[in-house]
Structure 1
Amino acid sequence: MIIVGFILFALAAIPFVLTLMNLSILSATPRHAPQGHVLVSILIPARNEAKNIGPALDAALGSMGVPVEILVMDDGSTDATPDIVRAYAARDTRVRLLTAPPLEEGWTGKIHACHHLSEAARGTHFLFVDADVRLGSDAAALLAGHAQATDSGLVSAVPRQIMITLGELLTVPTINLLLLGYLPMGFMRLSRDPGLGAACGQLMLVEREAYRASGGHAAIRSRIHDGIQLARLFRRKSIMTDLVPGQRLATCRMYAGFDEAWAGFAKNAHEGMATPVALPIWTVLLFGGHVLPFMLLPFVPILPLACAALLSLVTRTLVTVAMRENPWSIPLHPFTTLVGLAIQWSVLLRIGNARRAGWKGRLYPVGEKS
């Protein structure tokens, strides 16, 4: 059991060390103002977003430091989404309402909407934003400035995640744990390796010519998770991508409860962890480093297990504090990790609702192109 304890300690130490390194790298990331002629097109795909679209537009219209235009693509909404956008457009010429054409065969819904938004945009940079994201006043300017200063074709950030219900706390904190604890950002910034490509589809800025050279959303038309897929696509085309701290650039409340959160994470799972090769490895890393020490420690109170459990909680604390997340994510950490793995395995094994993925009520068979 001593040997098992040391193995689990090593599995907990890996994300601890990477988190320390990544937080150091991110905190040292300089802030750059955009130079020369820059117009940021803020592009918002919207399907039944009546509750979100008004606050999203208010935040986007508060952008400072760079000229912006704001395009909303209404994609078959059956609520008041288009009416709300029309009212904003009547008051401010920076806002435009677009109507998505019928979904073409071989495309997924959000990717289709983003593609048509990019075709209508006039900016030098396109900032793709989900309707539940609230941009900070300097977000557009700082993302564009960073793209210019680092010659990055794509720059992304994870907004500060707002979590209120238990269901959100058991799902959403996994995002930043994976990015900070398992992505070597130092190597990411030195290499164009597609395997190191990562982005958050909630908040993603691309330089117009790099986006077009990569093929953009049209090149990933059958995919669902554009954050992962676009970053990898850019890197396959030898175009640099980067991640910057996002907790002060924007906020986002992704989901309102457990069922919604489970469905939301499940829809992207088969393009991330939930593959026959990747998921067993991720299960060893996450279950071994963040769950098993807590399960075994009451029955086998040995020092390596205690140190593993402590390191896991310290890692979660570092991520929570740095990303300004709900502090309840700390004591819930082992359960959150377990739920995250359960979502991934349910998708891989195609259990229940995990058989189908989708966007805002539009469903696609998991693992199929549609």
Structure 2
Amino acid sequence: MILILSILALALAGLFAAMCVVNLAVLRPPEGVGGEAVSILIPARDEAANIDAALDTALAQRGVEIEVVVLDDGSTDGTDAIVAARAERDGRVRLLRGAALPEGWIGKTHACWQLSKAARHPVLLFVDADVRLAPEAAARLSGEMARRDLDLLTGFPRQITPTWAEKIVIPQIFTTLLGYLPLPMARARSDPAFGAGCGQLMAVRRAAYDAAGGHAAFASRMHDGLELPRRVRATGGRSDLCDATPVATCRMYETPAAIWHGFSKNATEGMATKRALPVWTLLLFGGHVLPFLTLVAALIAGAGWAAAVSALACALVLGARIAMALRLRQSWLSVVAHPLGVMVVLAIQWSALIGASRGRRAVWRGRDYGMG
């Protein structure tokens, strides 16, 4: 039995490692220069601690014409006053005060929809308030879209993870993305199912955005990183992922509780469904945790062949994670504690699925939403 499980673990670990090698080879930073003018659009709700730094880096863009539009979505911490003061000093900044949230809309989705209506430039760059742009970010993204004739270009910023919990859990985003989305196939085919992205940093041509219905097309959905690329593809547009490590940084969540709630809020729009989660559990537990369990069991039982097979599986997983960590500038703790991080992610997903089946609702930024 140990040998059978070891062989299963090796097969699943090999799948992950092979996909990582292929995806890391084709996932490149945006290389374009210049491009069309960019509207940097920032939805903000209670972001007083973040918005000044977000504006600093947005306004430091060079190589392309920009404007920066911030929508204050009912903040109570003075976010609007900070933006208003910046707008008085720099004509490139505009402050919008968000309208009341309509029935059936998600807060961020509604904010981005309003921002899109106010934008004046042909490329819309949606940026979260906790994202810090490199000085060439807008020019490189807009230029890459022009160079490759893309309608939407998105990528995950380099994730800043100073605490142990962040180091262990946050990199698991890339485990699922680079380990299981075949990027060459996604580029070769226009199927909306291959559409993927990151809502933290997403550039889209206005014409393609409007043709796809914009954020209004998925008003009740939280996972804009999946929804917008898929809608653009469904209406004939071309979307792609890039390595955004050199062009932006982001610190997503600062505490273990924030990580749990943040990963939970849109889980049921991703892997936490009745059909998908058992498959994801097989792939993630079987390919990333089982190799280490079978290795220990084989060593205790003195099962030489099983131990050798399990050791190879462990080496494949850790080798792929080391390559990912080097490329994406991740902490070494994220490699060493990789199986633990996978287990935490699976626990979050199963908790979200069970909670949704029991009618539990997601709460985010002080708003209550249904799950699933």
TM-score tier, shorter chain, comes to: over 0.9
Do the aligned residues in 1 keep the contact of 2:5 with 2:294 (CA within 8 Å)?
no
2:32 alignment partner in structure 1: 32
Do the aligned residues in 1 keep the contact of 2:325 with 2:335 (CA within 8 Å)?
yes
Instruction: Give the whole-Å Cα distance in 2 for the aligned partners of 1:297 and 1:257.
Output: 33
Q: How does 1:1-370 map to 2 (within 5 A)?
A: 1-27=2-28, 31-35=31-35, 38-301=36-299, 302-350=307-355, 355-367=360-372
Cα displacement string for residues 291-323 of structure 1 (whole angstroms, at most 9, x for unaligned residues): 111122112131111111111111111111101
The structural deviation recorded for 1:86 is 1.0
CA gap 1:202/1:180 in 2 versus in 1, 3 angstroms: same
Do the aligned residues in 2 keep the contact of 1:153 with 1:210 (CA within 8 Å)?
yes
Instruction: Give the whole-Å Cα distance in 1 for the aligned partners of 2:72 and 2:281.
Output: 39
Do the aligned residues in 1 keep the contact of 2:30 with 2:243 (CA within 8 Å)?
no
Instruction: Give the whole-Å Cα distance in 1 for the aligned partners of 2:83 and 2:101.
Output: 21
Do the aligned residues in 1 keep the contact of 2:43 with 2:108 (CA within 8 Å)?
yes
Residue 64 of structure 1 aligns to a residue whose secondary structure is coil
Do the aligned residues in 2 keep the contact of 1:263 with 1:354 (CA within 8 Å)?
no
Instruction: Give the whole-Å Cα distance in 2 for the aligned partners of 1:353 and 1:87.
Output: 46
**Runs of 4+ with deviation above 4 angstroms:** 351-354
2:303 alignment partner in structure 1: none
Residue 355 of structure 2 aligns to a residue whose secondary structure is coil
State the Cα RMSD in Å: 1.5
TM-score of the aligned structures, taking structure 2 as reference length: 0.95
The structural deviation recorded for 1:236 is 1.3
Cα displacement string for residues 5-61 of structure 1 (whole angstroms, at most 9, x for unaligned residues): 11110101111111111111124x6611134xx210000000000000000000101
Instruction: Give the whole-Å Cα distance in 2 for the aligned partners of 1:270 and 1:317.
Output: 30
Do the aligned residues in 1 keep the contact of 2:44 with 2:72 (CA within 8 Å)?
yes
CA gap 1:87/1:353 in 2 versus in 1, 3 angstroms: farther
Residue 222 of structure 2 aligns to a residue whose secondary structure is coil
TM-score of the aligned structures, taking structure 1 as reference length: 0.96
Do the aligned residues in 2 keep the contact of 1:129 with 1:204 (CA within 8 Å)?
yes
Instruction: Give the whole-Å Cα distance in 1 for the aligned partners of 2:271 and 2:146.
Output: 32
Identity of aligned residues (%): 49
* Deviates further, 180-189 or 347-356: 347-356
The structural deviation recorded for 1:353 is 11
Cα displacement string for residues 321-344 of structure 1 (whole angstroms, at most 9, x for unaligned residues): 101112211111000000000100
The structural deviation recorded for 1:351 is 7.4
Cα displacement string for residues 175-225 of structure 1 (whole angstroms, at most 9, x for unaligned residues): 111111111110111111111110000000000101001101010101001
Output the amino acid matched with 2:320.
T
Output the amino acid matched with 2:337.
L
CA gap 1:236/1:163 in 2 versus in 1, 3 angstroms: same
* Deviates further, 279-288 or 80-89: 80-89
Instruction: Give the whole-Å Cα distance in 1 for the aligned partners of 2:186 and 2:148.
Output: 13
Do the aligned residues in 2 keep the contact of 1:171 with 1:262 (CA within 8 Å)?
no
The structural deviation recorded for 1:354 is 9.3
Instruction: Give the whole-Å Cα distance in 2 for the aligned partners of 1:253 and 1:105.
Output: 30
User: What is the aligned length?
Assistant: 364
CA gap 1:30/1:366 in 2 versus in 1, 3 angstroms: closer
Unaligned runs of 5+ residues in structure 2 are: 300-306
The structural deviation recorded for 1:80 is 1.5
Instruction: Give the whole-Å Cα distance in 1 for the aligned partners of 2:371 and 2:107.
Output: 14
2:304 alignment partner in structure 1: none
Output the amino acid matched with 2:269.
E
CA gap 1:353/1:310 in 2 versus in 1, 3 angstroms: farther
